[in-house]
Amino acid sequence: MCLIAVAWRQHPDYPLIVIANRDEFFERPTAPAAWWPEMPDFLAGRDLRGGGTWLGVGRDGRFAALTNFRDPTRLRDDARSRGDLVVRAATGDLPAQAIGQQIAAERAHYNPFNLLVCDGEALVVVESMTGRCSTLEPGIHTLSNHLLDTPWPKARVARRGLETATGGTPDVDALIDLLHNDRPAADAELPATGVPLALERMLSSCFIRAPGYGTRCTTVVLRSADGQVRFVEARWNSEGQPDGRTDESFTVR
């Protein structure tokens, strides 16, 4: 996952609103979002190479999602799969702060990451680069491939769009369209993350289109105050065109 925006306790009827884009190589095998056969209370896509996922929800209303921290110099071939952290956080029964603290203590086993965990009562972020496990205040928060609320251009676009969405009944298709914005940032606004300038430009938009790489799916999660959850995953092909959709609704139990 490369861009996540979360409205936490900002909407009177929807305490949790999540919009997220997953950017990945198209050659990497992936299963569409579905209830996992071996974990029938867990709804997520699946990385068929690493075995984990980038974003998922449980029938108990737990939510977790992960972004990678972009720093090519810190990548290790022997690191554990970061996708396992989402499964662990979204299917466990510990409070969000407790599971976040456990994962923060084990961060050295993984390549750099940021993890969001929500148990319905608290929204927590774990930043492996800083070691922090923080409970977030109500508000709109963004994660891309740096630390929480770093104002990268794509994060600012997502934040503004989500701020507008919290003013009325959330429209899933409008939220998906919000993250379908493929306009790159101006060079003066680009971060310096250790990759070539041309790649920084390509990665600066909310929606990525590049040879062999790009936004594979956009996910919207809505949790209502009365315990209803809607999970929508819109998938995209290598041309940036629709390539399937998962739309699931359930009552938190």
Give mean pLDDT in consecutive 10-residue pieces for the chain, a chain of 253 residues: 94 97 97 98 97 97 97 94 98 97 98 98 98 97 97 96 90 97 95 92 95 97 98 97 98 96
Tokens for 168?
């009325």
Say how far apart CA 118 and CA 124 lie, in whole Å: 6
DSSP 136: P
Fold (CATH) for 3-251 = Penicillin V Acylase; Chain A (3.60.60)
Which residue matches tokens 């250790």?
194
- Beta-strand relationship, 213-223 and 16-25: antiparallel
Give yes or no for a contact between 117 and 126, defined as CB atoms under 8 angstroms apart: yes
Residue 160: its pLDDT value, please? 95
Residue 166: its pLDDT value, please? 84
Say how far apart CA 188 and CA 172 lie, in whole Å: 32
Residue 18: its pLDDT value, please? 98
Q: Where are the domains of the chain?
A: 3-251
Residue 165: its pLDDT value, please? 84
Residue 170: its pLDDT value, please? 94
Give yes or no for a contact between 54 and 65, defined as CB atoms under 8 angstroms apart: yes
